[in-house]
Structure 1
Amino acid sequence: MTAMTPEEAKVTAWLADRKDAMVALLREMVDTDSGSYDKEGVDRAGQVLARFHERNGLEVEIIPDGRYGDAVKARLPNPTANDQRPVLLLGHRDTVFPKGEPTRRPFTIKDGRAYGPGVADMKAGLVIEAFVAAAFAECGGLSAPLTMLTTSDEEIGSPSSRPVIEAAAREARCVFNAEPSRLPAGSDFTRADLRGAVE
């Protein structure tokens, strides 16, 4: 394994120092209702992320949708990069849960594990992505522009956000999605799922 560059070490140290802030953002996201058909709730969860991005120096664009929640796109430009295609961090804010589920089952941590509606699918992944973007905004070290796109209707097949996702993916040099795979019962390995639309 090669040693980290000074920039990588700086980003890693910055992230390691922010566990409490990560948990606080995850709590706020999980305790915000955001079922796929709850436009108001999904938009509220989007505003939580938009405020986080703005506080951390990213440019935020809200892509409105009249039926489902709006998409939120945050950008970290890099005008000195030779290749202006961004690294795309992709995810969704909607959950499968009915309105009121966070009230019935709010965010909790027990024995070092987080619980609550949407923790795994995929609000913890969004927190990871948001903090990675914030780390590069604060520390530098990324040799490309970065974009984070969060959508609102993945759990119902992305009926409105699919064109937004495809447009962002076409512009990107690569795409990362922090949605976890399911581990088969009793397994002790992780697998990588490759998903998406290819044309």
Structure 2
Amino acid sequence: MTSRLLTLPLAALALAFATPAAAQLSNTEERITQIVEANLERDIALLEAMVNINSGTHNHDGVREVGQMLMPEFAALGFEVEWIEQDHVDRAGHLFARMEGDSDGTNVLLIGHIDTVFEPESPFQTFSRDGLSATGPGVVDNKGGIIVILAALRAMRDAGTLAGANIVVALTGDEESAGDPIAQSRQHLIEAGQWADVALGFEGLSVMDGRDMGVVARRSSNSWTLTTTGESGHSSGIFREGVGYGAIYEMARILDAFRTQLPEENLTYNVGILAGGTPAALATDGLSAEARGKTNIIPENAVARGDLRTLTQEQSERVAARMQEIVDANLPGTDAELTINFRYPPMAPTEGNMALLDALNGINADLGLERMEPLPPARRGAADISFVAPFVHGLAGMGPAGRGSHAPGETIDLTSIVRQAQRAAILMSRLGENPLTTPIALSDR
């Protein structure tokens, strides 16, 4: 697949999808909506089968088993299907399905993931249906999203709009806990993003105050580790010249300065674990710590870990620089070191993303659905679509609606599969009719 940059003027993108005020669905689009509705029970049956196979990120056999279940589904639609092993990053692998038709058509990347947060030891393991809702591990995040992708593509095939399309489906096997180094675990996804013009992320639909929302931005997900050191000694000497403040006061100074000096819109920074004493150290997995100390000993070490979430790369870099300035202003007799691990980049809000949401809202009008307003970015976390955000116009939140993701009792609104698959299928079909032959330049983003 060859890569191409986005250079389409924003006005041209808007015109490509403009619909008159009285516009209606075409006969083909009506057929798409009917096909999606008619196949709902079939889709729910496949969802149940997937959910009942544990595919926690670290259950490699389970992730592969769900992948093997899905590969024939995409092959039957005319896709070339590949399982990409990821043993080198201690993960199961990714499923990629490719269809390349009209060389002048819009290149569309559909993103989802096979893995869930529920490992084999979780008590929450099975699918259970109650009318128009169902519960199960990953039923929304993200097995329901995969069902929306398949439902949309099947409707396109049966309505005749899939022929000649340029589509790559990327289903990662480690979205919930990406393999390290992340540059390797996301290599194939990034390459697909460089090929694509448009990316659609099928994480769950965002609903706020009972209304479906459009996701044109997602914040980054980064982690930081802070270590402080001080001169140990008898507590009666603390604060004296030549003795200093000790590691815990230095840690407290820095964390409180983060609290008071960093706040700005769309930025959050959490402290997840903290320990101090003589000695104090994080465990190798970074998830626990060990510390010892006495009230009459000045603490020698302190360590803390937390996360950092930003809306743009510029914000990430600027906030990281300010954090370092705070860390460097040491109390007497102390030292500190900050390490930031940049993992999931932000999906910044762009005019191109908003133009895609406008296109989707044209479809909503034709379907008789309410207009979708942009979701406030702070309400969504990071996702795989962020890795391709620098290269494409993107919309996230194209999966089904539900509640309780990442927790026992995760629940899907089964009716949302229909409207989300209809939206996605019609959007991709219109992209096929109005190719983005001159995509937006990165300098314009």
What TM bracket, shorter-length normalisation? 0.7 to 0.9
Establish whether residue 134 from structure 1 lines up as the match of residue 154 from structure 2.
yes
Runs of 5+ consecutive residues of structure 1 not aligned to the other structure: none
Instruction: Describe the SS at the equivalent of 1:121.
Output: coil
Root-mean-square deviation (Å): 2.2
Report which of the two has the higher share of strand.
2
* Whole-angstrom CA distance in 2 between matches of 1:90 and 1:65: 17
Establish whether residue 38 from structure 1 lines up as the match of residue 59 from structure 2.
yes
The answer as to whether partners of 2:55 and 2:63 remain within 8 angstroms in 1 is: yes
Q: Which residue of 1 aligns with 2:96?
A: 73
Q: Which residue of 2 aligns with 1:48?
A: 69
Q: Which residue of 1 aligns with 2:39?
A: 18
The answer as to whether partners of 2:54 and 2:125 remain within 8 angstroms in 1 is: no
The answer as to whether partners of 1:68 and 1:153 remain within 8 angstroms in 2 is: yes
* Whole-angstrom CA distance in 2 between matches of 1:136 and 1:190: 23
The answer as to whether partners of 2:206 and 2:214 remain within 8 angstroms in 1 is: no
Shift of residue 188 of structure 1? 2.7
Establish whether residue 2 from structure 1 lines up as the match of residue 23 from structure 2.
yes
The answer as to whether partners of 1:71 and 1:161 remain within 8 angstroms in 2 is: no
* Whole-angstrom CA distance in 2 between matches of 1:18 and 1:45: 21
Residue number among 167, 174, 184 corresponding to 1:146 in the alignment:
167
Q: Which residue of 2 aligns with 1:109?
A: 129
* Whole-angstrom CA distance in 1 between matches of 2:121 and 2:133: 22
Aligned residue identity for 2:81: V
The answer as to whether partners of 1:53 and 1:130 remain within 8 angstroms in 2 is: yes
Q: Which residue of 2 aligns with 1:176?
A: 200
Shift of residue 28 of structure 1? 1.0
Instruction: Describe the SS at the equivalent of 2:82.
Output: strand
The answer as to whether partners of 2:107 and 2:196 remain within 8 angstroms in 1 is: yes
The answer as to whether partners of 2:116 and 2:176 remain within 8 angstroms in 1 is: yes
Residue number among 120, 139, 161 corresponding to 1:99 in the alignment:
120
* Whole-angstrom CA distance in 2 between matches of 1:49 and 1:100: 24
Aligned residue identity for 1:177: G
Shift of residue 124 of structure 1? 0.5
103-112 vs 173-182, which deviates more?
Answer: 103-112
The answer as to whether partners of 2:124 and 2:137 remain within 8 angstroms in 1 is: no
Q: Which residue of 2 aligns with 1:28?
A: 49
* TM-score normalised according to structure 2 size: 0.41
Q: Relative to 1, partners in 2 of residues 1:189 and 1:155: Cα closer, same or farther, differing over 3 Å?
A: same
Structure showing greater radius of gyration is 2
Over the matched positions of the two proteins, sequence identity in percent amounts to 27
Shift of residue 82 of structure 1? 2.0
Runs of 5+ consecutive residues of structure 2 not aligned to the other structure: 1-21, 219-385, 391-445
Q: Relative to 1, partners in 2 of residues 1:135 and 1:161: Cα closer, same or farther, differing over 3 Å?
A: farther
Shift of residue 99 of structure 1? 0.9
